[in-house]
Structure formats: structure tokens, C-alpha cells
Amino acid sequence: MTSLTKTFTKAFEKDESHVHIEIKAKPYSNPYLVGIGLGLVLLAAFVIMGRGLGASGAVSTAVAVTVNTIAPSHASGNQFYTEYLGDGKTSPFKDWLVFEVLGVIAGGFLSGSLAHRVKKGVDKGPRVSNRTRLIYAFVGGGLMGFGAKLARGCTSGQALSGGAILNLGSWAFMMMVFAGGYAAAYFLRRQWL
Amino acid sequence: MNAPFYKFNLFGFDVSLIIAFAIGIGFGFMLERGGFGSARILAAQFYLGNMRVLKVMFTAIVTAMLGIFYLSVIGYLDLSLIYVSNTYILPQVLGGLILGVGFVIGGYCPGTSMVAFSTGKIDGLVYVLGVAFGIFVFGEMFPMLEGFFNSTDLGKQTLPSFLGLSYGLVVFLVVVMAIGAFIAAEWSEKKFADRNPEKSI
């Protein structure tokens, strides 16, 4: 009986050692080819819909709906929220950008799965703790959300989509994103390098 | 003229949502392929060690720009039906600066944080929550910011109309500029190869 248990345990241990062998993540694709692919997706959006891509607008809808659920009178008195809430007849989530962003999440997961890159964890520089990284992620996201609303769009809606149709405001915006990024980079080098 | 299809009523609103989802899948797929689901790769752009952001973005802009230009030249795409948002120069310049700083601090932008989150990155999820919080703060401050938000309205402005150059010439100049940027990017990646996190990921 004991030998049987031993054999069984041994077999199990062996099995476990196999579990630890991870399938190596595939390297990322050639950036120029990805750029052409992304450009064709963007072109398809323009040709089919007459509009470009976006990301921050969907989060705005979610924020406006949340505020409206908690404090309806407060939301209805604020033009910023009412614009995302619509006429009240159809659900605000029945929106082009909301469906597009759900697609982005699905597409990212699909690509990551195929290349064995889906892995739970925190992506950070070698010199910072997870906690610091998450605080920075929240603060950076907050600035990004605020800035995107002030600029009427983010990297997808303004820089990429507006850039392709040569929108003046989009190009000014894009140059400032790079300027802001490079100007602040030195002070944040500890987080990334 | 056949395109944009939606503006010519080739399909209705409900179908447009399905198309939105499909286009989103393509968008998310490409972002992940390009390495944009990783904050370290995105941030390395600002330390010159990995220039994927610049390469992918400018290639995408050039590809879509050339497609739109030639489709309109052959008369397939009606440019006047493509949505061009107004330029509000000061809010957009300031918004861009804030966004750039947020990019280096948080490591993502709204779209790429969705991809990071969908591939299991907890910092991506926290970032999305941060974006929502930032939008909430903007919403709460909106009555105060409204004046500035609607200031310096230049109307529908494109680079050709603003510079007084022909559409085709600006398209050509953007292509030349992009090629210059690609050459600079390749050079900087070689010079700052020790700052490229891609090799260790």
C-alpha cells in the first residue's frame, strides 16, 4: 500500500514538474508590418463608417452612466455627462465606441493567446515595487483621462485617426503628446530604466 | 462615390455596432502584435531604446492617409462625408501635454491599457480605472473648464487648409517626414540598445 502511494506521489510529482514548463511567448511582430495592418484597420473604419478609431470615449460613457446611476439629478445638470447619456430612450452603451472597445479587448486577448503572451502579472521596470508601479499606473491613467477629455480624444481618436485625415488640431495634439512625454521622461527614469 | 458605406445607408445602426466590434478586434489584435500591451515597451519610447510606438503609429497614419487620399482621388470615397472634428488649438495643445506626461507616468494610453488588461496585466486594469477617475474629475470640473474647453475654436482645419498647400503635397510631405522619423528611430534604437526591454521580455 505504501509503495503504491509512493509510486502515485512520484508520478504526481513528475507531472507537476511538467506543469512548470512554460510555453515561451513569441516575439512581437515587425513594427512596420503591424503599422500597415493597423493602418488598414483604420482605413476600413473610414471607408465603412466615415469615422476613425477611439478608446477614451467608451470610458467616458461608462463614467457618465455611473454618475447618472448614483446621482441622476447631478448628472442631468452637467452638459459633459448628458452628452454621453443620450436621449434616454436607447441605452448609452448602444454606442459605436463602446462596441469598438469591447472588440479591442477581445482582439488583444485573441492575439495574446495565439502568441502565448496572456499572463497575469504587473508590467514594470526592474527597480520599482508592484505597489509603486500600480500607484503610478493610476496617477498616469488619471492624467491621461483628464488630458484626453480636454483635447477631445486620446492617442487613438486624435493622434491616429485625426492624424490620418490631416486634422490640424490632431497634429498639434500629437506633437504635444511626444513633447510632454520626452519632457517628463527624465524625472521618471527610475520607474522604467 | 460609394464610400463611406454607412453614410450612403448601405446598412443600419444595429449593423454598425457589429462592425464596430469587428473593427475593434482588428484594432486590439494589431496593438497586441505591435507590443503595445506592455508598459515597458511603450515607456521605452521616451528613453529612445525601443521606438515601436513611433514606427507603428506613423506607419499606420501613412497607410490610412494614403488609402484615404487615393480612394478620394479615384472618386470612390467622398471626403466631405468623413468626420473631421473642429480644432480647438489651446485645449488640444494643453490636453496633449498632460496626456504625454500621463503616458510616461502610467506607461499606457487608454487603448493600449485595454489590451494590457485583456492579456492579464493588473497595471493595465488599474490604469483603466485611473482613466475613468480622470474623466470623472474632468466631468466634475466641467462647469469651470467649459470656457477654456470651447476657446480658440478654429473650425474644421486640416493641415492643407491651414498651410495653404494642396492635399497631395501635404500627403507627400508627411510621407517624407515619416521616412525621416523611421531612419532616426532605427539609429536611436541601435545607440540606446541597452535601454530596450524587448530583449528581456
Neighbouring residues of B54: CB distance < 8 A, sequence distance ≥ 6: B45, B181, B182, B185
**Is A89 in contact with A151 (CB distance < 8 Å)?**
no
Q: Which of residues 69-88 of B touch A (CB under 8 A)?
A: 71, 77, 81-88
Here the ipTM equals: 0.96
Label residue A86 by pLDDT band (50, 70, 90).
confident
Could B31 and A171 be called an inter-chain contact, meaning their C-beta atoms sit closer than 8 Å?
no
What is the C-alpha to C-alpha distance for residues A189 and A127, in angstroms, rounded to an integer?
Answer: 10
For residue B92, the chain A residues in CB contact (below 8 A) are 150-152, 158, 169-170, 172-173, 176
Q: What is the pTM of this model?
A: 0.92
| Closest chain A residue by Cα to residue B20 | A100
Question: Cβ of A99 and B20 within 8 Å?
Answer: yes
Interchain pair A181, B100: CB under 8 A: yes
Check CB contact under 8 Å for B31 and A38: yes
Q: How far apart are CA B40 and CA B42, in angstroms?
A: 5
pLDDT band per the 50, 70, 90 thresholds, residue B83: confident
- Bigger pLDDT: A50 vs B1: A50
Q: Does A65 touch chain B (CB under 8 A)?
A: no
Instruction: Decide if B40 and A124 are in contact by the 8 Å CB cutoff.
Output: yes
- Buried b / exposed e across B62-86, counting CB within 10 Å, b at 16+? bbbbbbbbebbeeeebbbeebbbbe
Statement: residue A141 has pLDDT above 60: yes
B43 touches chain A (CB under 8 A): yes
Mean pLDDT of chain A: 91
Query: Is residue B118 within 8 angstroms of chain A, CB to CB?
Result: yes
Which whole number is the average pLDDT over A50-78?
95
**Would you mind telling me the total number of residues written for chain A in this entry?**
193
Q: Are B35 and B52 in contact (CB under 8 A)?
A: yes
d(CA A159, CA A171): 7
Interface of A with B in 10-29 (CB under 8 A): 25, 27-29
Task: Flag if B107 and A136 touch (Cβ within 8 Å).
Answer: yes
B38 touches chain A (CB under 8 A): yes
The Cα A179–Cα A137 span in angstroms is 20
Looking at the predicted structure, is the pLDDT value of residue A62 above 70? yes
Average pLDDT of span B6-19: 92
Q: Across chain B, what does the average pLDDT equal?
A: 95
**Whether the predicted pLDDT of A11 surpasses 80:** no
pLDDT, position B199? 76
- pLDDT for res B122: 97
Cβ–Cβ under 8 Å, residues B98 and A147: yes
Contacts of B186 in chain A (CB under 8 A): none
DSSP states along B26-51: HHHHHHHHTTTT-HHHHHHGGGTS--
Tell me: the pLDDT tens digits for B150-171? 999 999 999 999 999 999 999 9
Confidence bin at B65 (pLDDT 50/70/90): very high
What's the average model confidence in pLDDT over A40-47? 97
| Interface contact flag, B61 A39, Cβ < 8 Å | yes
Which alpha helices (DSSP H) does chain B contain, by range? 13-33, 39-44, 52-73, 89-106, 110-118, 122-149, 159-163, 167-191
Beta-carbon separation of B115 and A97 below 8 A: no
Q: Which carries the bigger pLDDT value, residue A89 or residue B119?
A: B119
Confidence of residue A20 (pLDDT cuts 50, 70, 90): low
Quick: pLDDT tens for A98-109: 999 999 999 999
**Helical pair B52-73 and B167-191, crossing angle rounded to 10 deg:** 160
Candidates A93, A152, A155, A191: best to mutate against B (most CBs of B within 10 A) is A155
| Among B23, B120, B133, beta carbon nearest to A145 | B133
Rg (CA), chain B: 19
End-to-end CA distance of chain A: 57
- Smallest Cα distance from A174 to chain B, Å: 7
Look at residue A87 in the predicted model and tell me its pLDDT.
83
